């Protein structure tokens, strides 16, 4: 072995050759350069696709809406109750189902809308007749130079656009940030992990399905005979028949494909699902997914979720009063687990003291 020549040593250049992670900067959609500035829900179709096609996502969004409005509501007097009871949406809705729909769309899309129909649509104080859910894919917000919302445009199809005043649209924004002329969709935060979960499941399903295929090794180089054998083999598998090959056993044999070990895949999928629920902000416990949690952990998850749906209740109540003018509208809150948790802690504390005294 030759002696090393240390005068010829060099170093790597990872600092310049390997890029570090950098977060992309983002600007808001706020625009003030015109008398009327327009913003549309350009991602509404994609976000609806996630809600419609991803079971966990739809279940989490629906669970959120259920926790907020699932216990129903009360109003200030008999007159307001009659008005609320006669709201039918598209004809078969109730105010409860409309508000459930509204909350779900608000969460996955960022903004939700209903057409407010009154006896006199130009009079904000006239009697409320109906509340009709609208498609966010067709809605455009209009703001003035000061960034104030001054109206909406709704595409009716075939190039027809209907202009609405602000008091004609029941509009709820999800966590509006900075000067954005719209709410913030939760879908954008979990989009990557949803796609990763779907990819992992599709990959594993494909591996499981392919493992049912048997590989046939034959000592045959003639292409025509190979093609004939493939056709016969496919027909035999399709009909569940036994394929008979006239040859020596050592000239043709089957080999089963093996499924890779599932442990690593399961751990990866559990990691993605845990990441999904944390990013979405909906604990798995409220969906009934407590198989991998203790009872105490599930209760803590629900209790820490209480401020979230309490905030949503307060926002919805404010929207209903400010935009619909329904007097005394109050949502019935879900029962709190706090008292139950405190009771369990008191019992555990007493039990611990007795055990400690017994050891003495």
144 plus 45 within the same structural domain: yes
CB 43: neighbour CB atoms within 10 A?
18
Assigned domain for 11 exists: no
pLDDT tens profile 4-60: 766 677 777 666 666 776 777 888 888 888 899 999 999 999 999 999 998 889 999
275 plus 224 within the same structural domain: no
Residue 341: is its pLDDT beyond 60?
A: no
Assigned domain for 10 exists: no
160 plus 222 within the same structural domain: no
CB 154 within 8 A of CB 140: yes
The per-residue DSSP string of 109-153 comes to HSEEEEEEEESSTT-TTSPEEEEEE--GGGEEEEE-TTS-EEEEE
Full-model pTM: 0.76
Assigned domain for 178 exists: yes
Assigned domain for 275 exists: yes
Assigned domain for 199 exists: yes
Assigned domain for 16 exists: no
Domain end (from 230, 246, 280) = 280
Residue 297: is its pLDDT beyond 70?
A: no
Assigned domain for 15 exists: no
Confidence of residue 216 (pLDDT cuts 50, 70, 90): low
Q: List the domain range (segments joined by +) for residue 226.
A: 214-256
233 plus 175 within the same structural domain: no
175 plus 290 within the same structural domain: yes
Question: How far apart are alpha carbons 136 and 134 in whole angstroms?
Answer: 6
Residue 296: is its pLDDT beyond 60?
A: yes
Assigned domain for 245 exists: yes
242 plus 268 within the same structural domain: no
Q: Determine the average pLDDT of the residues in 301-325.
A: 89
Interior angle at CA 118, CA 117 and CA 122, nearest 5: 105
152 plus 111 within the same structural domain: yes
pLDDT tens profile 55-112: 889 999 999 999 999 999 999 999 999 999 999 999 999 999 999 999 999 999 999 9
Q: What percent of the chain has pLDDT over 90?
A: 46
pLDDT tens profile 259-294: 667 777 788 888 888 888 888 888 777 776 555 666
44 plus 172 within the same structural domain: yes
Q: What does the radius of gyration of the chain's CA atoms come to, in whole angstroms?
A: 31
96 plus 234 within the same structural domain: no
52 plus 151 within the same structural domain: yes
Count up the domains in the chain and report the number: 3
């Amino acid at each position: 072995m030759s002696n090393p020549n240390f005068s010829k040593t060099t170093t790597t250049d990872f600092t310049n050759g390997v890029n570090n992670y950098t977060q992309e900067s983002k600007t808001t959609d706020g625009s003030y350069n015109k008398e009327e500035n327009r913003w549309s829900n350009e991602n509404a179709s994609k976000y609806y696709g996630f809600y419609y096609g991803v079971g966990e996502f739809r279940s989490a969004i629906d669970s959120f809406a259920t926790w907020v409005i699932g216990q129903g509501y009360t109003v200030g007097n008999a007159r307001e109750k009659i008005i609320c009871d006669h709201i039918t949406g598209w004809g078969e809705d109730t105010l409860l189902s409309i508000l459930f729909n509204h909350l779900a769309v608000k969460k996955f899309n960022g903004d939700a809308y209903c057409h407010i129909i009154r006896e006199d649509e130009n009079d904000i104080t006239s009697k409320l007749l109906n509340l009709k859910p609208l498609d966010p894919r067709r809605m455009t917000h209009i703001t003035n130079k000061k960034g104030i919302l001054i109206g909406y445009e709704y595409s009716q199809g075939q190039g027809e656009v209907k202009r609405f005043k602000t008091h004609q649209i029941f509009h709820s924004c999800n966590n509006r940030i900075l000067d954005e002329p719209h709410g913030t969709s939760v879908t954008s935060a979990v989009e990557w992990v949803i796609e990763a979960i779907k990819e992992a499941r599709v990959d594993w399903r494909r591996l499981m399905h392919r493992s049912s295929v048997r590989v046939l090794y034959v000592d045959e180089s003639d292409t025509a005979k190979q093609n004939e054998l493939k056709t016969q083999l496919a027909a035999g598998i399709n009909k569940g028949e036994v394929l008979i090959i006239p040859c020596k056993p050592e000239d043709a044999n089957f080999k089963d494909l093996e499924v890779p070990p599932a442990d690593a895949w399961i751990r990866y999928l559990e990691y993605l699902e845990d990441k999904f629920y944390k990013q979405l902000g909906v604990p798995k416990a409220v969906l009934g997914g407590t198989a991998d949690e203790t009872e105490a952990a599930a209760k803590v998850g629900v209790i820490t979720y209480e401020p979230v749906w309490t905030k949503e209740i307060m926002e919805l109540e404010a929207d209903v009063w400010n935009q619909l003018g329904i007097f005394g509208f109050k949502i019935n809150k879900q029962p709190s687990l706090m008292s139950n948790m405190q009771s369990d802690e008191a019992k555990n504390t007493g039990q611990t003291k007795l055990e400690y005294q017994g050891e003495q």
